[in-house]
Amino acid sequence: MSTSTDTSALLDAITVAPEHGRAVPDAASGETIGYVREQTAADLDRAIDRARAAQPGWAGLGHEERARLLHLAADEVDAHAEELALIIAREQGKPLNGPGARFEAGGCAVWIRSAADTVLETEVLFEAEGTRSELHYVPLGVVAAIGPWNWPALIAIWQIAPALRMGNTVVAKPSEYTPLSVLAVVELMNRHLPADVLQVVTGGREVGAAIAAHPGVDKVMFTGSTKTGREIVKGSANNLARLTLELGGNDPGIVLPGSDAKAIAEGLFWGAFINTGQTCAALKRLYVHDSVYEDVVDELSKIAASMQLGPGTSEDSQLGPLSNRQQFDIVTRLVEDARARGARIVTGGEAAPELGAHFYRATIVADIDDGAPLVDEEQFGPVVPVIRYTDVEDAITRANSSEQGLGASVWGDPVEARRVAERIDSGTVWINQHGTLNPMVAFGGVKGSGYGLEFGAHGLKAVAAPKVITI
């Protein structure tokens, strides 16, 4: 059953006539949803100039007034949450229900309000007779926000909301795969923000490459691949723009001996398969102790086989398509390589062409080991490899072997899991859960997963310049 809620008013506000733009397809059907302008580096220049001109006035409003306007923007997003969710479901492919498009649309308002309400106190660094040194946080200027295609609206808000709260203006550059979701949430916010405080530039690689080196940009926030993150670091060398880089991860999970496979199976499954596995902090490789290995594989395969696969706009879908052909091809290659190596495809392991071009069945792969590309690379799709181990020390070493370190999880007795968690090289380690995020809890990676923190007070500090005043 498909939803019938109309999105035409919001779409009309963010799209252009076919002769003036590039077609954006529905991830499930390939049908054109709308057209967006294919902007250029010259358009970026103009947007940054307008943002620089608007920034002093926006900063001058003060925290209280900026927070009030952000609350109005959040209310507007809430009022149009169903329209926004439908755009996300069509363009990106995630199902409306569960941890899907409605969850993403609602999360946008939650994160806007959190950024508006988070208290950032002045810090007294030193105080003695006749002297007091205080640490304040002041706006940087213009923040460039470069987002990915997997959670397009929500991750854009993770970048935009704290930057605006701290008095910066923002120029957002969405993925060329999912520009409509970002245009839609920005359109809703801009109904309450001053002109040019928040802008979107839609375009391809030319625009993205021009951002990091742009002399008018004071901060770049980027979520995407490690490869592109390295290029952004190089590009920022001349203008010394500050950076927050969330570069994805090949997140490990470790199931300890004695764990109850049935009790943890659902948490493991959704830790890996949220958004059809297309999540930076999803569980990407699962190390399971030999004593519970077959039980965990069996429970996961039962859940995977029961999942309803279908278009995002169907109320019945639990998993959707891969968002684009490039990602579908990556997932197919990795599973076929695992099959050729003799790995056991417990369930799934094949496309579902009867549903559309980018659909792939939920796949559990057993009897595979480190060194296989499915384990060593970030698959970013509906597949999880389950790797057997016999010694916890060995599992920790293997979990830490990746160049990436965004998230990880440990499953089992909480006391023992805590000891293991302290030894895993990741920005976040969850215990008996995976991938849960909180707008007040700092989030960021280590190693090849980037640097800088988002969310809460740490996220506000990341989009501001520290300033010491000594009296």
Give the Cβ contact number of residue 370 at 10 Å: 16
For 243, the enclosing helix (H) or strand (E) is: strand 242-246
Backbone phi, then psi, for 72, in 5-degree steps? -65, -40
- For the chain, domain boundaries: 8-247+449-470, 251-431
The rounded mean pLDDT for the chain is 96
Choice among 76, 91, 108, 280 that is catalytic: 280
Q: What whole-number distance in Å separates Cα of residue 190 and Cα of residue 194?
A: 7
Cβ atoms of residues 405 and 447 within 8 Å? yes
108 is annotated as an active-site residue? no
The number of C-alpha atoms within 13 Å of 204 and in the hemisphere containing its C-beta is 5
Question: Residues with Cβ < 8 Å from 186, sequence gap 6 or more?
Answer: 156, 160, 172, 198, 199, 200
Question: Residues with Cβ < 8 Å from 251, sequence gap 6 or more?
Answer: 281, 282, 283, 284, 285, 406, 407, 408, 409, 426, 434, 435
Q: What whole-number distance in Å separates Cα of residue 297 and Cα of residue 384?
A: 10
Cβ atoms of residues 156 and 183 within 8 Å? no
Indicate whether 428 pLDDT > 90. Answer: yes
Counts of helices then strands in the chain (DSSP H, E)? 16, 20
Indicate whether 216 pLDDT > 50. Answer: yes
Indicate whether 464 pLDDT > 50. Answer: yes
Give the pairing of strands 404-405 and 242-246: unpaired
- Stated pTM of the model: 0.96
Q: CATH fold of 8-247+449-470, please?
A: Aldehyde Dehydrogenase; Chain A, domain 1 (3.40.605)
pLDDT digits (tens, 9 = 90+) for 264-292: 999 999 999 999 999 999 999 999 999 99
- Which letter does DSSP use for residue 224 in this model? S
Give the pLDDT of residue 248: 87
Give the pLDDT of residue 113: 98
End-to-end CA distance of the chain: 66
Give the pLDDT of residue 7: 65
**297: its two tokens:** 């594989």
Percent of the chain with pLDDT over 70: 99
The number of C-alpha atoms within 13 Å of 150 and in the hemisphere containing its C-beta is 21
Q: What whole-number distance in Å separates Cα of residue 443 and Cα of residue 406?
A: 9
Strand order across the beta sheet in which 383-389 lies: 344-347, 363-366, 383-389, 283-289, 251-255, 407-411, 428-431
What DSSP string runs through 9-73? HHHHHH---GGGSEEEE-TTT--EEEEE----HHHHHHHHHHHHHHHHHHHHTHHHHHHHHHHHH
Indicate whether 117 pLDDT > 60. Answer: yes
Strand order across the beta sheet in which 123-128 lies: 123-128, 131-139, 464-470
pLDDT band at residue 8 using 50, 70 and 90 as cut-offs: confident
Indicate whether 4 pLDDT > 60. Answer: no
Read off the pLDDT of each residue in 55-75 and give the average, rounded to a whole number: 98
Give the sign of the dihedral formed by CA 54, CA 59, CA 64, CA 66: positive
Question: Residues with Cβ < 8 Å from 193, sequence gap 6 or more?
Answer: 69, 73, 164
Give the Cβ contact number of residue 452 at 10 Å: 19
pLDDT band at residue 205 using 50, 70 and 90 as cut-offs: confident
CA dist list (Å): 129 to 123, 126, 132, 135: 18, 10, 8, 18
Give the pLDDT of residue 269: 98
Indicate whether 3 pLDDT > 80. Answer: no
Backbone phi, then psi, for 20, in 5-degree steps? -110, 5
251-431 has which CATH code? 3.40.309.10
Read off the pLDDT of each residue in 314-321 and give the average, rounded to a whole number: 98
pLDDT digits (tens, 9 = 90+) for 349-375: 999 999 999 999 999 999 999 999 999
Read off the pLDDT of each residue in 199-214 and give the average, rounded to a whole number: 94
pLDDT band at residue 6 using 50, 70 and 90 as cut-offs: low
Indicate whether 70 pLDDT > 90. Answer: yes
Choice among 76, 91, 104, 246 that is catalytic: 246
Q: What whole-number distance in Å separates Cα of residue 446 and Cα of residue 426?
A: 6
Q: What whole-number distance in Å separates Cα of residue 363 and Cα of residue 346?
A: 7
280 is annotated as an active-site residue? yes
Burial of 445 (0-12, 13-18, 19+ CB in 10 A): buried
